[in-house]
Chains A and B, each alone.
Chain A
Amino acid sequence: MNSTPYSPDQPIAFNHKVHVSDYDIQCLYCHSYADRSPFAGVPSVERCMGCHLIVAAQTEGVQALNGYWQRKEPIPWTKVNVLPRFVHFNHEAHVRAEVECAECHGDVQNMSKISQTSSLKMGWCLDCHRKEEASVDCLTCHY
């Protein structure tokens, strides 16, 4: 892993710290599929606007958000935690096994700008799978 974590610029300077630490919003409020689907999901623009129609409506970021909403455009976030296409990762299985989000995604609640904190390489996955006695069979993820 590079010494500086991967942290691409995003179309809106979204601040996880403000949302999670300052306002105590649960991960699942926005990433609402994480406990019931392989995909955690990113919130729909409508969900963002649910709060931001009122909250902090004058800030630069929210104005940008409002711009997307008015133009009926989804926000083209840049993916930070990228897995190759031949890996079938399942969020639901990990949430059910009580793996904390932070174990893979890092200390998101204190990140003003989101960055990748784990290598997401296979060895890194297996390290945990071995420790937790989870399956280390190839077909668990590769099919």
Chain B
Amino acid sequence: MIKRRDFLKTVGVSGSAALMDACTLENSEKLVPYLVAPEDIVPGIPVYYTTNCRECPAGCGMLAKTREGRVIKVEGNPRHPLGEGKLCVRGQAAVQSLYNPDRFTGPLLRNEQGQLEPIEWDQAEEILTAHLTQLLTNDKSQEIAWIGHLLTGSMESLIRQWLQSLGSEHLLFYETFQYEPLRQASKIAFGHFGLPQYHLEKAEFLISFGANFLETWRSNVEFTSAFHKMRSSRDPNTPDNFVYLGSRLSLTGSNADWWIPLQPGTEIQLALSIAHSILEQGLATEETSNQAWIASLLAPYSPESTKELTGVETSTVRELAQRLCKTPPSLALGGEINTSGEQALSLELAVLLLNAMAGNVGQTITFGTDFALNQLASYQEILNLVQEMHRGKIDTLFLHHGDPVFTLPTRSGFTEALDNVPFVVSFSSLPDETTAHANLILPDHHFLESWGDYSPRSDLISIQQPAMQPVFNTRSTADVIINVSQKIDRLAEQFTYSDYSEKLYSYWESAVRKKSNKDVPWEEFWPGVLTNGGSFRETAPVEVTLKDISNNLQVGEETLVGPEGGASLILYSSPHFFDGRNVNNPWLHEIPDPTTQLVWDSWVEMHPDTALQLSLKEGDVVELSSPYGTLKSPVHLYDGLHPNVVAMPLGRDKSADLRYASGKSENPMQLISPEAATDSGSVLWRSVRVGITKTPDHHPLVSLQLENGEHPEEALVSIQPVESIAAAQRIQPSELKETDISQKAHAPPDYYPPHDHPDHQWSMAIDLDACTGCNACAAACYAENNVPVVGKELCSHGREMSWIRIERHKAPLVQATDIVPSDGISLPVLCQHCHNAPCEPVCPVFATYHNPEGLNAQVYARCVGTRYCSNNCPYKVRRFNWHTFTVPEPLQLQLNPDVTTRTAGIMEKCTFCVQRIQEGKNRARRENREIHDGDVTPACAQTCPTEAIVFGDINVPDSRIALLAEHPRGYHILEPLNTRPAVTYLKKLVPEKAFAED
């Protein structure tokens, strides 16, 4: 029997034992050394590798930041001409493709029950070897076909060599957006097949026929940066130098000064009437003004006669003609998928004609640089192969990246044809709609894991270095091909490389060094390539002359098939998901879509007036039906659409087994015509009218745009009429602040004395005239700061965690006239690091305070989660962790080890990337010097393609930030609250006069 006293003793002892255990447990963290320390890695110090981004065919230069052998962040490569150190939102999110939890973990074979079964690599290669050997024996190797994403350089050379030695002639490079009309139009108009090179930075005036060059069109980072150069040097007297024409106001469109909302299909008439007006007003270049064919071609398109169809006033057309010609050079950009119907080629021809007449050829538009995109097969060629597949003429199909089942028009018959191919091999690394039909899946490495090269255009070739060991049991496609070939007698002699890197070196030696740098020995050349990220050279433009295009120009009313009275359907490529290739990257879902501010989901956009007629509200599910298919989608009301149009984004959802794609939204490619354009062979992106039927369902869409209820919009976004810039530049900043800004903080003194910042005072400036709202900063912040993703449900409760958001502000668009101010302002909002921060005095535990360097600090370990700070923050930039957010493996490998991950109950917010400030100080200390202006760049500022965000120490007198903080356009958001933010915004410049005012 235990006495009471003994019992207590026992309990006491075991209690303390338990306590000791807990202590030991906490302390028994392991310290595991390397077995053999890698020479080039110092734990705690990042190593950067130059490589190149393959998220889209643009191919921007990239730096992969690795820590302890894993990639934690990607940034642009400042030495690379494409991007010049910047990346877009998709590039920033590339690390989530790398660590994607749904990637194939190894090779798979479809068994007799139709299930995919994991196999070993040796076995996989044996199966492929046996299959190919048999084809060769049976003399059926011409029945091999390859459809893959765009390749250049050594990989292209390897694949061509391989298919050729196998005896196959079916090699098709296929990307969803192929630019067939533009490639053809250049050939017809200037005798140069392929894409022209544009020089936006040199243009004094820009007009875009639906080309969304700030989003996904061709090379968006390059164009965004060039666009900024063009905008920042514009003449204050004609500051409205960008006009966007199209049926949908895209992100690019909302960066224009003016928008001409067009009835779809009338773009070409408008282009020709502008050309007519150029001729009529005697503004055309000498060479074009006296060409008889131009005069007779344009004769029917006087602004008066096209007005009825286009709805554009003659005065507007005349003004456009003048702006294009009076201050040369200007630039007109051709169409995109949203303008690409049966007359797409003719529209491109008309736009090239405009450029020729305005004297832009040789100035802002040049030929002579060959683009990789020129190699793409046309959609018609894909259809030809589909025919062969249907007819049983293809035995083996290799699919190398891309998801044609998803991205080709559904009715093209590709899917059915695919099932008619006995042996389908996919090199895809992520499940998609196409891999669902594959017999053998040989997952390729991610581009951050493998060697490669890519030459987006003939004046540059980038190197792609493996920045880390593969995350999964994947194998580079090139190595698979080499391995397999070595086991096939007929091929073995030609493929003697030990692995792909050997092929790559020999290619760079023979095709790059010997051609462009033959005086530099290999030993010097190669390290230079690795340091710079590639080999770059200048190409001289070639002279071109305009040819008679009249016979190729088909102008008429665009035929759309579909129910009478239905709306024209336009599809657009999603700025976040391109064609759906990165649909499983959660950051891209949680960062709001730039134009709609919606997160997750997919939708159909409809003009509010159209919706009213159909009694539809936001989120009501409608059935859209075209002659080719039917789908259901929730409605999003958007006034940036022509009322006769409905628009759908591509690629926001897939039905494959991917955890971040819900599979609930159907693919809009079901609705469009499977035919190819007869002249250019392009997909007829705009080919149908859709009938709209209301269904009883409702699917709430989640928008993260805050309502402005409490704060009047003008307190948030401030604009400056452009006519006053010239004047503003002459006024002293102090005078301007006194006289020109109506909303001000109250004059000092304040109740509390101002803070002292003896050493540094970190500050930021954001130029709203430069910000295009591209969201690259937001993705960079997610990557750098371990910001959690919360999902749609929590977003709908306003519990998203983003530290920087881009608010959209625009006046309601009234399409009462032919040309309207697009008036869009993108306002990046992050912690303002106020000097009188409302969050600080309300924190009961002193977890948030103003630090001696001007930062509003948030100490996680102190925070007890009262949320008083967030309630008191007028900018709503503080984020509370309602849960401890975790990520599925292996996404945790991406986490930045320099930033603490937060747990439930803790408040967090922008820190001005304090870890980078500390790193900058350490670097300065290591180099025995003071920290310089430019030593510290937060992730958001680092990636901004327009350098709209500038960061620095305002205590350094002539630093960029010190100058910008005193800029005549500078203001603070919600200034009357007297919070005295460390972030200065520069007002956006907007035109004051009407477009065609005399």
Contact = CB atoms under 8 A, between A and B. Distances in A.
B556 interface: no
A90 B37 CA distance: 21
A47 B925 CA distance: 29
Query: Which of B26, B33, B45, B862 has its CB near the most chain A CB atoms (within 10 A)?
Result: B33
A78 B30 contact: yes
A6 to B, nearest CB: 6
Nearest to B24: A8
A64 interface: no
A138 B851 contact: yes
Nearest to B42: A37
Interface string A96-131: 100000000000000000000000000000000000
Contacts of B368: none
Nearest to A76: B30
B900 A86 contact: yes
A77 B32 contact: yes
Interface string B854-866: 0101011110000
Contacts of A88: 898, 900, 915, 918
Contacts of A78: 27-31
A137 B852 contact: yes
A133 interface: no
Contacts of A36: 42, 45, 926
Interface string A15-42: 0000000000000000001001111011
B749 interface: no
Contacts of B45: 36-37
B752 interface: no
A38 B898 CA distance: 10
A67 interface: no
B706 interface: no
B37 A82 contact: no
A137 B33 contact: no
Interface in B475-489: none
Interface residues of B, number: 37
A79 B25 CA distance: 11
A92 B922 contact: yes
Interface in A35-73: 36-39, 41-47, 69, 72-73
B34 interface: yes
Nearest to B847: A138
A143 B925 contact: no
A129 to B, nearest CB: 14
B565 interface: no
B43 interface: yes
Contact of A142 (B26, B853, B855, B861): B861
Contact of B914 (A33, A80, A96, A139): A139
B859 A44 contact: no
Query: Which of A72, A73, A79 has its CB near the most chain B CB atoms (within 10 A)?
Result: A79
A4 B35 CA distance: 33
B855 A33 contact: no
Contacts of A79: 27-31
B27 A8 contact: yes
B899 interface: yes
A139 B32 contact: no
Nearest to B30: A76
Contacts of B42: 33, 36-37
A93 B860 CA distance: 23
A143 B900 CA distance: 6
A78 B29 CA distance: 6
B811 interface: no
Interface in B851-905: 851-853, 855, 857, 859-862, 898-900
B70 to A, nearest CB: 16
A21 B409 CA distance: 77
Given A33-B42, A85-B900, A138-B857, A42 B31 contact: yes
Interface string B22-57: 001011111111111100001111000000000000
A47 B39 CA distance: 12
B772 interface: no
A49 to B, nearest CB: 10
A44 B35 contact: yes
B450 interface: no
Contacts of B26: 82
A45 B911 CA distance: 39
A143 B848 CA distance: 12
Contact of A86 (B852, B860, B918): B860
B861 A44 contact: no
B926 A47 contact: no
Query: Which of A38, A92, A143 has its CB near the most chain B CB atoms (within 10 A)?
Result: A143
Contacts of B853: 137, 139
B28 A142 contact: no
A140 B922 CA distance: 11
B801 to A, nearest CB: 17
A90 B996 CA distance: 63
A88 B900 CA distance: 9
Contacts of A73: 35
A19 to B, nearest CB: 15
Interface in B913-944: 914-915, 918, 922, 925-926
B43 A39 contact: yes
A45 B900 contact: no
Contacts of B851: 137-139
Given A37-B42, A137-B852, A143 B899 contact: yes
A138 to B, nearest CB: 5
B63 to A, nearest CB: 20
Nearest to B32: A74
B27 A143 contact: no
Contacts of A75: 32-33
B44 A6 contact: no
A142 B27 CA distance: 20
Contact of B32 (A33, A76, A138): A76
Contacts of B855: 139
A78 B26 CA distance: 11
Contacts of B29: 78-79, 82
A74 B926 CA distance: 31
A138 B858 CA distance: 9
Contacts of A138: 849, 851, 857, 859, 862
Contacts of B911: 139, 143
A44 B38 CA distance: 10
B33 A74 contact: yes
Query: Which of B26, B30, B852, B853 has its CB near the most chain A CB atoms (within 10 A)?
Result: B30
Contacts of A82: 26-27, 29
A8 B862 CA distance: 30
Given A79-B30, A82-B26, A142-B860, A72 B35 contact: yes
B164 to A, nearest CB: 44
A137 B759 CA distance: 13
A137 B44 CA distance: 22
A52 B699 CA distance: 69
Contact of A8 (B28, B852, B859, B899): B28
Given A8-B27, A45-B35, 19 more contacts: A6-B27, A37-B42, A43-B33, A45-B36, A46-B35, A47-B37, A77-B30, A82-B26, A86-B861, A88-B915, A88-B918, A90-B918, A137-B852, A139-B855, A139-B914, A140-B918, A142-B859, A142-B861, A142-B900
Interface of B: 24, 26-37, 42-45, 849, 851-853, 855, 857, 859-862, 898-900, 911, 914-915, 918, 922, 925-926
The 9 closest A-B pairs by CB, nearest first: A37-B44, A44-B37, A44-B34, A38-B44, A77-B31, A42-B33, A79-B29, A46-B36, A39-B44
Interface of A: 6, 8, 33, 36-39, 41-47, 69, 72-80, 82, 84-86, 88, 90, 92-93, 96, 137-140, 142-143
26 contacts: A33-B42, A33-B43, A33-B44, A36-B926, A38-B44, A39-B43, A39-B44, A43-B33, A44-B36, A46-B35, A46-B36, A73-B35, A74-B32, A74-B33, A75-B33, A76-B31, A76-B32, A82-B27, A88-B900, A96-B925, A137-B851, A137-B853, A138-B857, A139-B911, A139-B914, A143-B918
